[in-house]
Amino acid sequence: MVYYIVGAILLLWFLGGLSRKLRRRNKVIHIVEDNCTGCKRCIKRCRRQVLDLAGDETGKHVVVKHPDKCTACGDCVKACKFNALEIMDKRERKYKS
Ligand code: SF4
Ligand code: SF4
Protein backbone atom coordinates (compact mmCIF):
# COMPACT_ATOMS: atom_id res chain seq x y z
CA MET A 1 0.00 0.00 0.00
CA VAL A 2 2.79 2.40 0.96
CA TYR A 3 4.49 1.68 -2.36
CA TYR A 4 1.34 2.70 -4.26
CA ILE A 5 1.11 5.98 -2.36
CA VAL A 6 4.81 6.78 -2.87
CA GLY A 7 4.51 5.80 -6.54
CA ALA A 8 1.46 8.03 -7.01
CA ILE A 9 3.24 10.99 -5.36
CA LEU A 10 6.31 10.51 -7.54
CA LEU A 11 4.16 10.24 -10.67
CA LEU A 12 2.27 13.44 -9.81
CA TRP A 13 5.56 15.24 -9.10
CA PHE A 14 6.99 14.08 -12.43
CA LEU A 15 3.87 15.03 -14.41
CA GLY A 16 3.73 18.45 -12.69
CA GLY A 17 7.34 19.14 -13.63
CA LEU A 18 6.76 18.01 -17.21
CA SER A 19 3.66 20.18 -17.50
CA ARG A 20 5.53 23.26 -16.18
CA LYS A 21 8.38 22.61 -18.61
CA LEU A 22 6.04 22.33 -21.60
CA ARG A 23 4.22 25.53 -20.64
CA ARG A 24 7.53 27.44 -20.41
CA ARG A 25 8.99 26.00 -23.60
CA ASN A 26 7.92 28.90 -25.79
CA LYS A 27 8.42 31.59 -23.15
CA VAL A 28 11.36 33.90 -22.56
CA ILE A 29 12.23 36.95 -20.49
CA HIS A 30 11.60 40.42 -21.90
CA ILE A 31 12.98 43.76 -20.61
CA VAL A 32 10.81 46.85 -20.41
CA GLU A 33 13.78 49.18 -20.85
CA ASP A 34 11.96 52.38 -19.88
CA ASN A 35 11.31 50.95 -16.39
CA CYS A 36 14.79 49.53 -15.77
CA THR A 37 17.00 51.43 -13.32
CA GLY A 38 20.05 49.18 -13.79
CA CYS A 39 19.99 48.06 -10.13
CA LYS A 40 21.22 44.55 -11.14
CA ARG A 41 18.96 42.66 -8.72
CA CYS A 42 17.70 40.47 -11.59
CA ILE A 43 21.23 39.68 -12.81
CA LYS A 44 22.21 38.45 -9.34
CA ARG A 45 19.03 36.35 -9.10
CA CYS A 46 19.34 34.57 -12.46
CA ARG A 47 21.24 31.30 -12.05
CA ARG A 48 21.70 30.84 -15.79
CA GLN A 49 23.53 34.09 -16.62
CA VAL A 50 20.86 35.10 -19.13
CA LEU A 51 20.94 38.81 -18.28
CA ASP A 52 23.66 41.43 -18.46
CA LEU A 53 24.01 45.18 -17.94
CA ALA A 54 24.46 47.47 -20.93
CA GLY A 55 24.79 51.21 -21.32
CA ASP A 56 23.59 53.55 -24.04
CA GLU A 57 22.59 57.20 -24.42
CA THR A 58 19.60 56.61 -22.12
CA GLY A 59 21.76 55.18 -19.31
CA LYS A 60 22.39 51.68 -17.95
CA HIS A 61 19.81 48.95 -18.27
CA VAL A 62 19.58 45.20 -18.42
CA VAL A 63 19.70 43.30 -21.71
CA VAL A 64 18.92 39.67 -22.53
CA LYS A 65 22.36 38.36 -23.42
CA HIS A 66 21.55 34.63 -23.76
CA PRO A 67 17.82 34.20 -24.51
CA ASP A 68 18.41 30.55 -25.42
CA LYS A 69 19.45 29.83 -21.81
CA CYS A 70 16.28 31.32 -20.26
CA THR A 71 13.94 28.76 -18.72
CA ALA A 72 11.21 31.38 -18.02
CA CYS A 73 11.42 30.46 -14.33
CA GLY A 74 10.35 33.99 -13.30
CA ASP A 75 12.92 34.40 -10.51
CA CYS A 76 14.21 37.66 -11.98
CA VAL A 77 10.65 39.00 -12.41
CA LYS A 78 10.04 38.47 -8.67
CA ALA A 79 13.34 40.21 -7.85
CA CYS A 80 12.60 43.34 -9.89
CA LYS A 81 10.90 46.13 -7.90
CA PHE A 82 10.38 48.36 -10.94
CA ASN A 83 8.11 46.28 -13.19
CA ALA A 84 10.86 46.11 -15.79
CA LEU A 85 10.69 42.39 -16.55
CA GLU A 86 8.01 40.19 -18.02
CA ILE A 87 7.77 36.67 -19.40
CA MET A 88 6.53 36.64 -22.96
CA ASP A 89 6.03 34.33 -25.91
CA LYS A 90 9.24 33.75 -27.90
CA ARG A 91 7.38 34.13 -31.19
CA GLU A 92 6.45 37.72 -30.27
CA ARG A 93 10.04 38.65 -29.40
CA LYS A 94 12.76 39.30 -31.97
CA TYR A 95 16.36 39.44 -30.76
CA LYS A 96 19.17 41.19 -32.56
CA SER A 97 21.98 38.76 -33.45
S1 SF4 B 1 15.89 44.28 -11.23
FE2 SF4 B 1 14.55 45.42 -12.65
S3 SF4 B 1 15.21 47.55 -12.48
FE4 SF4 B 1 16.84 46.29 -11.58
S5 SF4 B 1 18.29 45.93 -13.28
FE6 SF4 B 1 16.84 44.21 -13.27
S7 SF4 B 1 15.20 44.80 -14.72
FE8 SF4 B 1 16.37 46.67 -14.20
S1 SF4 C 1 13.24 33.87 -16.19
FE2 SF4 C 1 14.69 32.66 -14.95
S3 SF4 C 1 16.21 31.90 -16.44
FE4 SF4 C 1 15.07 33.55 -17.46
S5 SF4 C 1 16.33 35.38 -17.11
FE6 SF4 C 1 14.83 35.27 -15.44
S7 SF4 C 1 15.83 34.19 -13.73
FE8 SF4 C 1 17.02 33.83 -15.64
pLDDT tens, position by position, for the chain (97 residues)?
Answer: 889 999 999 999 999 888 877 777 789 999 999 999 999 999 999 999 999 999 877 778 999 999 999 999 999 999 999 999 999 988 776 544 3
Give pLDDT, residue 1. Answer: 86
Distance 39 CA to ligand 2 centre (A): 16
Give pLDDT, residue 90. Answer: 83
Distance 74 CA to ligand 2 centre (A): 6
Give pLDDT, residue 94. Answer: 54
The predicted model scores a pTM of: 0.76
- Most informative mutation of 32, 40, 49, 70 for ligand 1 (most atoms within 8 A of CB): 40
> Whole-angstrom Cα distance, residue 24 to residue 39?
26
State the CATH number of the domain containing residue 39.
Answer: 3.30.70.20
Task: Count the domains in the chain.
Answer: 1
Domain span at residue 43 reads 2-96
Give pLDDT, residue 97. Answer: 39
Distance 86 CA to ligand 2 centre (A): 10
Buried/exposed code over 29-51 (b: 16+ C-beta within 10 A; e: otherwise): bbbeeeebeebebbbeebeeebb
